[in-house]
Amino acid sequence: MNPAYRADQVGSFLRPQAVKDAHAAYLQGQLPLDELRAIEDRAILEVLELQQQVGVDVFTDGEFRRGGWSGDFADAVDGFVSGAPAVTVFNTARGNNPAQQSGGPTRRIIGAKLRQKQRLTEHEASFLLAHAPGACKMTMPAASYVLARGYRPDVTDPVYGSRAAALQDVASIVGSEIAALVKQGVAYVQLDNPHYPDYVVEERNAQWRAVGVDPARALAEDIAADNVSLDQARSDGVVLAMHLCRGNGGRGPDQPAGWHTTGGYDAIAEQVFGGLHVDRFLLEYDSERAGGFEPLRFVPRGKTVVLGLVTTKSGELESEEVLLRRIDEASRFIPVENLALSPQCGFASTMAGNPLTVDEEKRKLELVVSTARKVWG
């Protein structure tokens, strides 16, 4: 039986200024890689100490070695070219002007056969395993995320022939990395930001249809591909999880953290919860945009739902009383023994991070831990 990890977390932590400065200097050719790594090492040791003080059940390196939460894939794999993706992804942090959305030029379009040139997370996992004071978690983007953000029919199809074929290549690379992490001894692997929740947004579905992609078929392909990744690494005692993100674009302490998806899980719940081969679902429930808990009735017995009830988008601290009440509400649709608690997302999906302080970050985690202990002991 897999560990319960009742006081969970999504992965990223606010990066110290020293880490931000070091990454900037490295990208400008002003800092050698070994010096960057030494600065990251010191910061990771400090964030591990913070997590130990708080009492969370599983440890991460804060994603301090990444420029952004999903950067490892593009860094480790050749085959991306510059260009705008087929579908724009609305993010409130970028305003309401479509020209300011994340559909702008980016080096994330799949324009050649994907070729893995190095491990995605080996440089992160080795240090974390050597220094974490308990079970540790590694995160990486789901295959469905990489494909959704990197697929454009007029650029990708001449290479792969179809969306599904490109998706299978991505899934194989992600699955190989998960298997390598499990072999290294990582106890918990979390895939992040699958495209599933975006299929509840009709404006976005209309964009997919306009380029010849049927959203219903794409959802089925996405789930199947993510299962290909997960099934490569199934192992007793290793937790495999999926975090269904709704957007967490942070631009620093003085800017609001954005989001890209609104709408409940209802339309995808039966297909996703019943069909995905994971042990845990990390679900964002920090705002009304996520809808109610009713879709949790589709989660099979034996799987865990981690309720993301504590927001990372502001420093305002939630009420423990409210959290306890909401956990009780969720337990009407799924047994409380199949629930856990976490922040809704990471604290810094981007280098800039979300608009809260390290002290507020710590208090949020302390609240998660204290509430979890009250519910599950």
Report if residue 330 sits inside a domain.
Answer: yes
Angular region, 90: left φ>0, alpha ψ -120 to 50, beta rest: beta
Give the H/E segment covering residue 123: helix 122-131
Which pLDDT does position 226 carry in this prediction?
Answer: 95
Which pLDDT does position 250 carry in this prediction?
Answer: 58
Which pLDDT does position 131 carry in this prediction?
Answer: 98
As a whole number of angstroms, the distance between CA 107 and CA 117 comes to 17
**Going along the chain, which residue ranges are E strands?**
77-83, 106-116, 137-141, 188-192, 239-244, 280-284, 304-310, 339-343
Which pLDDT does position 102 carry in this prediction?
Answer: 38
Residue tagged 């199947």 (tokens): 224
Higher pLDDT: 212 or 130? It is 130
Q: Crossing angle, helix 202-210 and helix 215-231, to 10 degrees? A: 90
Specify the number of domains making up the chain.
1
Q: Lowest-pLDDT range, 88-102, 209-223, 239-253, 255-269? A: 88-102
pLDDT tens readout for residues 327-343? 999 999 999 999 999 99
For the four alpha carbons of 213, 270, 90 and 358, in that order, the dihedral sign comes to negative
**What letter would DSSP give residue 101?**
S
Which pLDDT does position 336 carry in this prediction?
Answer: 97
Report if residue 239 sits inside a domain.
Answer: yes
Strand partners, 243: 192, 282
Report if residue 363 sits inside a domain.
Answer: yes
Q: Residue 60: which of 92, 14, 97 has the closest Cα?
A: 14
Of the chain, the percentage scoring pLDDT greater than 70 comes to: 88
Confidence of residue 280 (pLDDT cuts 50, 70, 90): very high
Q: Are 271 and 223 in contact (CB under 8 A)?
A: yes
Report if residue 81 sits inside a domain.
Answer: no
Q: Are 353 and 306 in contact (CB under 8 A)?
A: no
Q: Are 222 and 175 in contact (CB under 8 A)?
A: no
Is pLDDT at 276 greater than 60 in this prediction? Answer: yes
pLDDT tens readout for residues 16-67? 999 999 999 999 999 999 999 999 999 999 999 999 999 999 999 999 999 8
Strand partners, 189: 138, 240
Which pLDDT does position 93 carry in this prediction?
Answer: 45
Report if residue 164 sits inside a domain.
Answer: yes
Q: Give ∠ CA 140-144-147 in degrees, rounded to 5.
A: 100
Confidence of residue 86 (pLDDT cuts 50, 70, 90): confident
Which pLDDT does position 25 carry in this prediction?
Answer: 97
Which pLDDT does position 139 carry in this prediction?
Answer: 94
Mean pLDDT of 254-259: 58
CA contacts within 13 A on the Cβ side of 153? 9
Question: Domain holding 276: CATH number?
Answer: 3.20.20.210
As a whole number of angstroms, the distance between CA 273 and CA 100 comes to 33
Which pLDDT does position 84 carry in this prediction?
Answer: 82
Q: Residue 59: which of 136, 6, 127, 131 has the closest Cα?
A: 136
What distances in angstroms separate CA 269 from CA 76, 197, 198, 302, one per listed residue?
32, 10, 13, 16
Residues 6+ apart with CB under 8 A from 317: 360, 363, 364, 367
Report if residue 259 sits inside a domain.
Answer: yes
Instruction: Strand 339-343: give its sheet, edge to edge.
Output: 137-141, 188-192, 239-244, 280-284, 304-310, 339-343
Is pLDDT at 263 greater than 80 in this prediction? Answer: no
Q: Two tokens at 193?
A: 């930001």
Which pLDDT does position 104 carry in this prediction?
Answer: 37
Confidence of residue 317 (pLDDT cuts 50, 70, 90): very high
Confidence of residue 12 (pLDDT cuts 50, 70, 90): very high
Residues 6+ apart with CB under 8 A from 28: none
Confidence of residue 223 (pLDDT cuts 50, 70, 90): very high
Which pLDDT does position 75 carry in this prediction?
Answer: 83
Which structural domain, as residue segments, surrounds residue 130?
17-71+119-376
Which pLDDT does position 256 carry in this prediction?
Answer: 55
- How many other CB atoms are there within 10 angstroms of residue 28's CB atom? 8
Q: How many residues does the chain have?
A: 377
Confidence of residue 264 (pLDDT cuts 50, 70, 90): confident
**What letter would DSSP give residue 30?**
-
Q: Lowest-pLDDT range, 24-28, 73-77, 97-101, 160-164? A: 97-101
Report if residue 6 sits inside a domain.
Answer: no
**Burial grade of 295 (CB within 10 A; 0-12, 13-18, 19 or more):** buried
Q: Lowest-pLDDT range, 12-21, 47-56, 71-80, 177-186? A: 71-80
Mean pLDDT of the chain: 88
Mean pLDDT of 151-171: 95
Is pLDDT at 105 greater than 60 in this prediction? Answer: no
Report if residue 7 sits inside a domain.
Answer: no
Q: Are 153 and 166 in contact (CB under 8 A)?
A: no
3-state secondary structure (DSSP) of residue 140: strand
